[in-house]
A and B are shown apart, each in its own frame.
Chain A
Amino acid sequence: MTDLESKLTAEIANLLDDKKVDVFIAFKKAESPLHPQPAFFTESNQLGDFVYNSLCQNNLAAFIPRYPLSARIGMVVRGCENRAVNHLVVEKQHARENIFMIGVPCEGLVDWHKLVNRFGEEMIAVDEAKDEIMISYRDRQIRAPRQELLHDSCLRCVHPNPLSADVTIGELKPEGDPTLARTEVAAFSALDNAARHAWFRKEAERCIRCYACREACPMCYCTECFVDHGVPRWTESTVSPAGMRAWHIVRAFHQAGRCVSCGACERACPMDIKMTYLTEKLNEDMRTKYQFECGMDDKTQPPFAAFNLDDKNRFEL
């Protein structure tokens, strides 16, 4: 158990023992080395399996809308998860006073796609040190620089620190460089229309419509999604180009002003589909057009919920 894990365990045990929370959402060790499992602790004696490392790929805020508003929930949060919680509070999916967040400044997540694509499926364990990842096979061990294996969203992360956690454990990290995401969006936008379209098709048409991106996203909490509708049928139900493209367009657009750039959608995808080039474009537009960044506080409404008459002269007439 790492130093961070023991500090977190002690903190969580206190919360549960003092009955300050009804459930504590964190991770526990799973058999697969690449995917620690979200776990729901209700007693401090369950914390034996507790684990917290860079392979904890899910955004735990995705589990919050499952609970009634009155449930007192505890969570370990990184920067992005903290922002997701904030925005869920804005959208009234939970009450801020009923969430207790233990913040951990984030080192960045190790992307399992990058691990598997580079080191194959035969890994039996993955461990981490400060700047290195150790990959164990049955008969040997390999080391790789951590930076090369971080998820793309983490590489361009601006706010790795929790913004409004109730307790923060660990040293705060320096803020990230906001120009990184902007540069990537700009580079994509600089391509001509045909090239952008070709890229979009190539990515979207690998989709198997398993909707893992939707289920992994903290903001996709609609109880009925547009693709689930039989009548009216909003888009084709098949894995045809029409259906797959419509899914990717509408999924991303529904996140406009609501995406916290955690990248959980991409990490959940079994087909290695890139999605953040869509959501980052929308995030960038929200920043430049409306000076809005999702989840920075738990009060500000997103731009599409907060239109006003000042828009009068904003658009072409």
Chain B
Amino acid sequence: MIDHKPKIILFQCQWCLYSAEDQTWVDTQLPVNIHLVKVPCTGRINTLYVLNAVQGGADGVMISGCLPEQCHFKEGNLGARRQLDQFADFLDHIGYERNRVRFTWLDLQDRGRIQRDLAQFEADLTKMPKSEALATRVGGHHD
């Protein structure tokens, strides 16, 4: 259990939230413990971004993108799914638990789902101990 709210980095594809209300909520009303990084497509998310988030002390990383066949750039999300999923497995291999990296692939009908998924993710992370593996820049202090 951790006593404060877990720090979450949300990488969001700018096309994946089909409802304007969801996008407005993400843009303006995200809780302070969730940091938004908006990207033009999940295919733009370099694994180094995820690594930087993890080294910066993120307790969890969420990546939201479009379903296959719904990618604004045709197939950016397909490459991203393969790579980022593998990267999460790889981070687990060296000690950053697999369930700290989560994906939410959103459909046209998924109104409000991003809020539910983030809430669920936060609840799950709260049950886990603070992430220490790989964090090298936590709260301005370094090891």
A–B in direct contact per CB < 8 Å: yes
Complex contacts, A311 vs chain B, CB 8 Å: 68, 78, 81-82
Q: Mark A258-285, 1 if CB is under 8 A from B, else 0.
A: 0000000000000000000010011001
Q: In the complex, given contacts A282-B86, A309-B69, A315-B85, what are 15 additional A-B residue pairs having Cβ atoms less than 8 angstroms apart?
A: A193-B95, A193-B96, A197-B133, A226-B48, A234-B48, A240-B136, A241-B136, A250-B51, A256-B90, A278-B93, A289-B86, A303-B82, A304-B79, A304-B86, A307-B75
Is chain A's interface secondary structure helix, strand, loop, or mixed overall? helix
User: A304 with B83: in contact, given A196-B94, A311-B78, A315-B105 (CB under 8 Å)?
Assistant: yes
Range class of the B interface residue count: 20 to 34
A189/B93 in contact, CB under 8 A? yes
- Tell me how many residue pairs across A and B have CB atoms closer than 8 Å: 93
CA distance A281 to B91 in the complex (A): 11
CA distance A88 to B105 in the complex (A): 34
A246/B55 in contact, CB under 8 A? yes
CA distance A285 to B86 in the complex (A): 8
CA distance A226 to B133 in the complex (A): 23
CA distance A282 to B83 in the complex (A): 11
A194/B95 in contact, CB under 8 A? yes
Most buried by B among A241, A307, A312: A307
Asked whether A124 is an interface residue with its Cβ less than 8 Å from the other chain, the reply is no
Complex contacts, B22 vs chain A, CB 8 Å: none
Contacting residue for A252 out of B78, B90, B97, B143, CB 8 A: B90
Complex contacts, A188 vs chain B, CB 8 Å: 93
Range class of the A interface residue count: 35 or more
B94/A307 in contact, CB under 8 A? no
The 3 closest A-B pairs by CB, nearest first: A197-B95, A242-B136, A307-B78
B82/A307 in contact, CB under 8 A? yes
User: A312 with B68: in contact, given A196-B95, A197-B133, A242-B136 (CB under 8 Å)?
Assistant: yes
Asked whether A137 is an interface residue with its Cβ less than 8 Å from the other chain, the reply is no
Asked whether A67 is an interface residue with its Cβ less than 8 Å from the other chain, the reply is no
